[in-house]
């Protein structure tokens, strides 16, 4: 629906007279009975005109240069009834699921399964695939919707090759659904989209053997206010073209345990289903994906999704938490938009080298093979040196490395890992600003042949300038497991 600008065409006004002449006698105030009856104002007349169409600049691909955020919206087009689409992300027909990413996902799935957790991946489809009816007839003819649906279904099948449960969301990709899966000018799904997705996910989980053992509870969903969604696409359109689209208003839905008491606070039993993901899944958006999962599964769901956490943020945060480490869930539902999943031109190892060791809490609870604490200063800082007494066999085949900063707000790590064969690995890790990593970083050592065929010699960190306040870091290398070949006599601590 187009927004309309409203303009006043006329309005009544009052004229005030002033007395002239300083010598004039002061008038006698009239009595109320002598005052004239007020004349009603003439009501204003309004005319509505269509507002806020995309400008020619929005069609220029170079207008989106300058930031990754803008680049993700290249190029905006206007569909039917006020809909906006991104031709790059929303109207894609390709889904890059590389063999390397499937292999890494399998490593994570296997590690979780060893702790009794089944991974369920919700691979969220693009907007054009789910709401093709909102494209204009010309746009619909140029968008190969059938190819998009076919390739999306094939991508789901490739993900299943990693041993994870992948609900068949391609079943929801049908024309004339009778509801909007996404908002008109925003990249998030609507409550209706979340509801239908949750039903498909719940249907898939109910077929699994572990579902029967889950504790049961009844839930009910009701409305609780109204959500005004301005929309990320329209914000970019306003930035490029000016003007202001109106917000889209939808009911807010809330799911609670039947009879009230839906909060998990005070419950002694940890939910056996956990949800990780993006702003589509957290409790702030008002889409109620978590609540619909509870209703259709008939059991509590622990929601740990994080707005702004992207593909990996919520995953890494939850795996490192006490909630997971002390009581892993039977089912871990991982919601991720398709565009956040590592594409074929990206190295998925960067994410999974952190996630896989965190399943078993990194180096916590394991003997340190090499460890040292350093107060950081400007210039080169030597954190670890593998030549104290004797050279220890530390390499990517068996070991991982952990860093714990004294400041829990540290979210960026840049270290150099030096090997005895002369090779050097630059380890750079980053957490999004909304992800609380408590200053902790965990990663497997490099898996390339040059890193697995030689032992670690040293670990260093270069600082361009001194920290604004005192900053310490403890670096530790430990085994992924504790092989018999390593005894307590081989443990070493740098002086």
What DSSP string describes 139-182?
Answer: HHHHS-HHHHHHHHHHHHHHHHTTT-B---GGGG--SS-SS-SB
Helix/strand/coil for 3: strand
Nearest partner of 294 among 193, 185, 233, 217, judged by Cα: 217
Let me know: does 87 contact 77? Beta carbons within 8 Å. yes
Let me know: does 157 contact 101? Beta carbons within 8 Å. no
Residue 188 annotated as catalytic:
yes
CA distance 184 to 179: 12
How far the first Cα of the chain sits from its last, in Å, is: 69
Tell me the two tokens of residue 478.
């430990």
Q: One of 279, 310, 314, 371 is an active-site residue; which one?
A: 279
CA distance 459 to 289: 44
Residues whose CB falls within 8 Å of the CB of residue 163, separated by 6 or more in sequence, listed in order = 106, 109, 110, 113
Tell me the two tokens of residue 237.
């359109």
Let me know: does 121 contact 334? Beta carbons within 8 Å. yes
Question: Residue holding tokens 């902790």?
Answer: 440
Report DSSP state, residue 438: T
Taken as a whole, the chain contains a residue count of 495
Element (H, E) at 114: helix 99-114
Residue 45 annotated as catalytic:
no
Phi, psi of 402 (to 5 degrees): -135, 145
What DSSP string describes 266-332?
Answer: T-SSPPSEEEE-STTTSSSSS--HHHHHHHHHTS--EE---TT-HHHHHHHHHHTSHHHHHS--SEE
> Cβ atoms within 10 A of the Cβ of 235, count?
15
Element (H, E) at 111: helix 99-114
Q: One of 187, 188, 196, 317 is an active-site residue; which one?
A: 188
Q: One of 186, 282, 288, 300 is an active-site residue; which one?
A: 186
Q: Is the peptide bond before 145 cis (omega within 30 degrees of 0)?
A: no
Looking at the annotation, which residues are catalytic?
Answer: 186, 188, 279
């Amino acid at each position: 629906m187009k927004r309309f600008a409203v303009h006043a065409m006329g309005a009544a006004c009052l004229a005030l007279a002033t007395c002239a002449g300083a010598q004039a006698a002061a008038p006698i105030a009239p009595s109320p009975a002598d005052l004239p009856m007020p004349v009603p104002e003439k009501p204003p007349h309004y005319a509505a005109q269509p507002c806020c169409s995309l400008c020619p600049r929005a069609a220029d691909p170079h207008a989106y240069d300058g930031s990754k955020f803008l680049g993700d919206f290249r190029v905006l087009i206007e569909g039917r009834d006020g809909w906006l689409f991104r031709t790059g992300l929303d109207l894609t027909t390709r889904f890059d699921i590389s063999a390397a990413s499937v292999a890494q996902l399998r490593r994570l799935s296997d590690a979780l399964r060893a702790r009794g957790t089944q991974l369920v991946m919700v691979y969220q489809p693009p907007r054009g695939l789910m709401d093709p009816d909102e494209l204009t007839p010309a746009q619909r003819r140029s968008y190969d919707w059938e190819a998009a649906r076919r390739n999306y279904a094939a991508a789901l099948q490739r993900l299943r090759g990693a041993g994870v449960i992948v609900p068949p969301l391609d079943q929801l990709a049908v024309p004339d659904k009778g509801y909007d899966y996404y908002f008109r000018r925003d990249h998030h799904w609507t409550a209706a989209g979340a509801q239908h997705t949750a039903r498909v996910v719940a249907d898939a989980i109910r077929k699994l053997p572990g579902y029967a053992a889950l504790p049961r509870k009844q839930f009910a969903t009701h409305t609780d206010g109204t959500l005004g969604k301005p929309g990320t696409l329209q914000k970019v359109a306003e930035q490029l073209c000016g003007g202001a689209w109106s917000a889209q208003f939808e009911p807010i839905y809330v799911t609670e345990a039947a009879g009230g008491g839906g909060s998990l606070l005070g419950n002694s039993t940890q939910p056996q289903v956990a949800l990780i993901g993006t702003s589509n899944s957290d409790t702030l958006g008002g889409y109620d994906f978590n609540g619909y999962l509870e209703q259709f599964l008939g059991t509590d769901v622990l929601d740990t999704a994080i707005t702004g956490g992207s593909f990996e943020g919520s995953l890494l945060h939850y795996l490192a938490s006490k909630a997971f480490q002390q009581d892993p869930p039977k089912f871990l539902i991982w919601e991720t938009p398709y565009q956040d999943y590592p594409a074929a031109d990206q190295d998925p190892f960067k994410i999974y080298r952190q996630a896989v060791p965190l399943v078993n809490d990194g180096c916590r609870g394991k003997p340190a093979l090499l460890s040292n604490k350093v107060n950081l200063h400007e210039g080169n800082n030597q954190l670890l040196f593998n030549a104290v007494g004797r050279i220890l066999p530390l390499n990517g085949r068996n070991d991982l490395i952990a860093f714990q900063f004294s400041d829990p707000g540290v979210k960026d790590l840049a270290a150099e890992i030096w090997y005895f064969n002369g090779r050097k690995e630059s380890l750079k890790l980053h957490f999004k600003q909304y992800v609380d990593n408590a200053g902790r970083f965990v990663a497997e050592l490099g898996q390339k042949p040059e890193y697995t065929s030689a032992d670690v010699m040293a670990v260093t960190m270069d600082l361009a300038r001194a920290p604004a306040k005192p900053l310490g870091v403890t670096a530790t290398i430990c085994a992924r497991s504790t092989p018999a070949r390593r005894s307590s006599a081989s443990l070493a601590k740098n002086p």
